[in-house]
Structure 1
């Protein structure tokens, strides 16, 4: 398994593992602990509300850590930051696996989140570079990036059954150590070097970190307690105000914490918005469908996890294939067709009832996954096209921040809609109404995609 990365030398399997394992581990760990919460609470003698911070602390720390990624990459170099972050993630995983109490486990999970935050955007920066659609992303990258969120609960269930909850952290150690060996073998020139003159932006960093954490915390509380609950509403409003404040601040300083340059380009901003919409439509089903299959259809969590696995594989393959089709048929045509197919496939959710076999549900999800995969890489190429290599970390960090904000708020709103409508009209009718919303979002995105360029423009020269 070899592939060209950053138009440089072809990389061996261990070197590719070094580049891809970081995103895989951090994305799997975003969801793998969910299934372990009851076991952790029982063994460590903690209540479930306290144990929930093992999950929430990781996600909030991950969001806060994202805001430092761009500056660290500029100041110290992309691959150096990636290697240090991966090593810290492995150490944090070891502490999690040996934690004797809930307090240390929550702290170690927060360290995991902070150290794992740079791994996805920095790996994307190396894989995509400034060549956009011209760069061929390794098929393994496409598979891992989209399979990882889906396999977390399934893998977690298997590891807990085999050896207990501590194994969900121990499994990171051998993979992480091998990945670190691969990082050390990566040749020079696969990513931009350090800029010793890069300056920090402490005020902007504080605005962005606090705004992002506040908004995500508010969205998570609102999903559980309701959108008018004081703590949730206060966190959402306060976090949103801080993010607006950061936007104004970023335009005024020379080196902001995260550069918003790509938002000045209308097509890049449109591609970013469409990418976030695609993520909301995709992951809403990933988060909401397990509730339906387990509470209405009475399937086990493991069976549900197996039904979700094919969509991760198909999305990854679709992303690799979509990259090649974009060069033949153009970005606009491929993205529009992808969103139309996504709308049609999402309408298939209206066919799911209490007696629908899981294999039928898996087929519907697979159709949605293929449509999403076709469009995501062309959208990234349009979004990143105006950026130089030196700005790639900022562009990919902004993409990840937008996905987290849009995904958390979008999925939270849809989850609240499902809960409210299920109480009034029943769980099946409520689920179908959510399916109608997802179908409408996909078709509206198809119309907006008509404003994309027919083809991605050549990348600019490196700064």
Structure 2
């Protein structure tokens, strides 16, 4: 396989697959009323259609690294896209809510293998000095997918049938599978390790329950006692996994990799950052529609500038990191994101549209630089043999942080809106402004995590300088 063609096609291939996965995580939300009417059920009963996809991701991501090591990145990625595409067809053909839920669960399992396996192929194909440029293509889908999902879903439902939401994945899936077979490198693990079945049960069960709780957070169908007991169960399962992982030779997720300081700061800092940023896809449509009184389609269009800025950022991110280094960029950029989120707390009916677009452009640019920097920093001091494990751990934490971020946005919104009637536009806008300021404060706090970086951390990626793996003991 020609290495030049691999480097040309691989970033686009992985980005396309990840865009499908990220888009489908949110595209169904706006179509729930139409799906419910078509299947003859209530919209509330279709909550499982949304949560089953999240559960599929939570269960499938942890085992994806082991599968890639055992069966090879090309085969696993090809199967993942095939499962995702087949599940999309089943979703579009589903005659009942139960079949729709089962198909979405299968779709989530397929999508779960795309993210870590795709990143693994990128990390192993490109030397660290070229990793930033390649990762810039991969990070954009994760940024614009959740923003565009509700808009795309709304437009499709408005103009055609809700079933088209799933059928549009078919041509993309077929093309992607062909490109995988032609241009995807086939990497295997350095050693054959057995599957940690007890660890898989403990970790997947814990993350699945926790992800589901965060997805249904704030609903009145569950009592506080039930929520509390299930939260305790999920945390207990995760704690049991940590204990198990420290005592087995081949754990599902080797948490000792968190001893690598740059990897640990990237994972923890990214998790904290997403608590604030992750609530924006929830708050922004409310501000545009309830606060500014815009129709849904105009609200969706106002999400587009962030996506455009995210794509434009990839042209200058490598130069910015090469000039200032990871520590300075991540600390300053995190503060810039917090400031930009706070600016949305000043947007009202009298705010010029051009200014709103400008703030959205800033948000897309800073977010894209942030996630591109965090994701590449994670591999700065990771040995090649550990890249599969590092990708799986990083993807698992990112999936959880996305759920936590949406739950945070829901909690902040509910806290400030309280019992304010949605017809009172002034009070609703004021409450949403306080929500943005709360998210801004949470985002700024994550800068303290990146402050622990050292000046030369990440130079192997940003400046092409080889650095020794930096490890230090951490409590298990």
Normalising by structure 2, report the TM-score.
0.88
Shift in CA distance, 232/324, structure 1 to aligned 2, threshold 3 Å: farther
Q: Distance in 2 between matches of 1:261 and 1:386?
A: 14
SS of corresponding position for 1:256 = coil
Q: Distance in 2 between matches of 1:18 and 1:134?
A: 17
Shift of 1:205: 0.2
Shift in CA distance, 32/219, structure 1 to aligned 2, threshold 3 Å: same
Once the two structures are superposed, the pairs formed by residues 116-127 of structure 1 within 5 Å of their partners are 116-127=111-122
Are residue 167 (structure 1) and residue 168 (structure 2) matched?
Answer: no
1:180 alignment counterpart: 177
SS of corresponding position for 2:407 = helix
Shift in CA distance, 301/396, structure 1 to aligned 2, threshold 3 Å: farther
Which residues of structure 2 form unaligned runs of 5+? Answer: 421-426, 461-465, 470-476
CA deviations over 1:121-170 (Å, ceiling 9, x no partner): 11122223484454221654343332222211222222223320110111
Are residue 209 (structure 1) and residue 204 (structure 2) matched?
Answer: yes
For the aligned residues, what is the CA RMSD? Answer: 2.6
Shift of 1:323: 3.1
State which of 382, 385, 392 in structure 2 corresponds to 1:387. 382
Shift of 1:64: 0.9
Shift in CA distance, 105/459, structure 1 to aligned 2, threshold 3 Å: farther
Normalising by structure 1, report the TM-score.
0.90
Are residue 346 (structure 1) and residue 341 (structure 2) matched?
Answer: yes
1:318 alignment counterpart: 313
Are residue 302 (structure 1) and residue 303 (structure 2) matched?
Answer: no
Are residue 44 (structure 1) and residue 45 (structure 2) matched?
Answer: no
Q: Which moves more between the two structures, 264-273 or 32-41?
A: 264-273
Contact 1:143 1:317 in 2 (8 A): no
Shift of 1:289: 1.6
CA deviations over 1:347-381 (Å, ceiling 9, x no partner): 20221224545553332232122222223223223
Q: Distance in 1 between matches of 2:355 and 2:345?
A: 12
Are residue 289 (structure 1) and residue 284 (structure 2) matched?
Answer: yes
1:396 alignment counterpart: 391
Shift in CA distance, 414/54, structure 1 to aligned 2, threshold 3 Å: closer
Shift of 1:196: 6.6
Once the two structures are superposed, the pairs formed by residues 221-300 of structure 1 within 5 Å of their partners are 221-225=216-220, 229-300=224-295
Q: Which moves more between the two structures, 141-150 or 305-314?
A: 141-150
Shift of 1:460: 6.7
2:474 alignment counterpart: none
Shift of 1:25: 0.8
Are residue 200 (structure 1) and residue 201 (structure 2) matched?
Answer: no
Shift in CA distance, 271/192, structure 1 to aligned 2, threshold 3 Å: same
Contact 1:262 1:386 in 2 (8 A): no
Contact 1:36 1:160 in 2 (8 A): yes
CA deviations over 1:275-321 (Å, ceiling 9, x no partner): 12332322211122212322332222221111112212322432553
CA deviations over 1:44-74 (Å, ceiling 9, x no partner): 1112122221111111111111121121112
Q: Distance in 2 between matches of 1:269 and 1:227?
A: 35
Q: Count how many residue pairs are aligned between Structure 1 and Structure 2.
A: 454
Which residues of structure 1 form unaligned runs of 5+? Answer: none
1:378 alignment counterpart: 373
Shift in CA distance, 227/367, structure 1 to aligned 2, threshold 3 Å: farther
Q: Which moves more between the two structures, 97-106 or 113-122?
A: 97-106
Contact 1:204 1:257 in 2 (8 A): yes
SS of corresponding position for 1:165 = coil
